[in-house]
Copies of this chain bind each other. A is one copy, B any other.
Amino acid sequence: MGRQALFQRILEKKSCLCVGLDPDWEKLPSAVHQSNEHPILAFNRAIIEATAPYCVAYKINTAFYEILGAKGWELLQQTLSLIPDTHLKIADAKRGDVQHTAAQYARAFFETLRVDAVTVSPLLGKDSLAPFFQYTDKWTIVLGLTSNPGSQDFLQKQCNDQSWYEHIMQQVAQWVSPDQLMFVVGATWPNQLKRLRELFPDHFFLVPGVGAQGGDIETILRAGWTSRGGMLINVSRAILYASTGEDFAQAAAHRAAQYAAQIAQQINSLLS
């Protein structure tokens, strides 16, 4: 799904919500342990069914599956197959390696797992990203400014009146079309997000950090929404663990609906 098609879908649905499927074993509601299938698959299935009406994308962070070893990767593959084709499938993997190894990762995510998009680290430079860019019908989502406090250690460091993350993003943006490149920009830095939108009017931003990490939807939509470039706003824990009781799926649906309503209201106000 190219940039205009994705933007169109978001406008039709008036939602740019992405749900992060990061099942934390210790936080799973007890109800899923009574299921006939693996508790994580039962959990993901219920969450996807409950939230699909309100979101346009799902993001799977590989860490929450790798913790279970080979079984986790099986669950990851099974989870991907549960996501409807109407929704963008994002693997949040943050991979980054030298070229011939990066080529293996690109195949692993785009061919073996067949996701629509994968997050990657730009640290190793152009040749580490090139194998991903070869998949012109897929999205490569490059880390820009991450949502965590540790982004201040290096990414936000200033060099000649420019932060490292701005420099990195400006370089990367020269290497490939915005039709296949998104940037990760944390919701926890709304002022920086506003500035990045000025620098990158055409790029999709994948915005994590709403919910548990404290980012605010209205603020980031005002800062980052434009009629030329879009956003995907990711929420994971605040939806997944809205309730840990038997009503966890209904609670997740309710929470997702609340976020979607907030997003729709803000998009309407920005469009008017």
Q: Measuring CB to CB, which residues of chain A are less than 8 angstroms from any residue of chain B?
A: 22, 24, 61, 63-64, 66-74, 76-77, 94-99, 101-102, 104-105, 107-109, 112-113, 121-129, 143, 146-155, 157, 159-160, 164, 167-168, 171
Contacts and interface: CB of A to CB of B under 8 A. Distances in A.
A155 B105 contact: no
Given A96-B96, A121-B121, 7 more contacts: A61-B104, A66-B108, A67-B107, A69-B108, A125-B149, A125-B150, A126-B153
A175 to B, nearest CB: 9
Contacts of A159: 157, 159-160
14 contacts: A61-B97, A63-B97, A63-B104, A64-B101, A69-B113, A70-B76, A73-B73, A94-B96, A123-B155, A125-B155, A126-B150, A127-B149, A154-B164, A157-B167
A22 B63 CA distance: 21
A143 B143 CA distance: 17
B98 A124 contact: no
A124 B124 CA distance: 14
> How many copies of the chain does the oligomer comprise?
2
B99 A67 contact: no
A139 to B, nearest CB: 19
A124 to B, nearest CB: 5
A125 B97 contact: no
A155 B124 CA distance: 7
Contacts of A101: 22, 61, 63-64
Nearest to A98: B148
A160 B22 CA distance: 40
Contacts of A146: 98, 124
B70 A154 contact: no
A150 B124 contact: yes
Nearest to A76: B70
B164 A105 contact: no
A257 to B, nearest CB: 25
A150 B102 CA distance: 12
B121 A150 contact: no
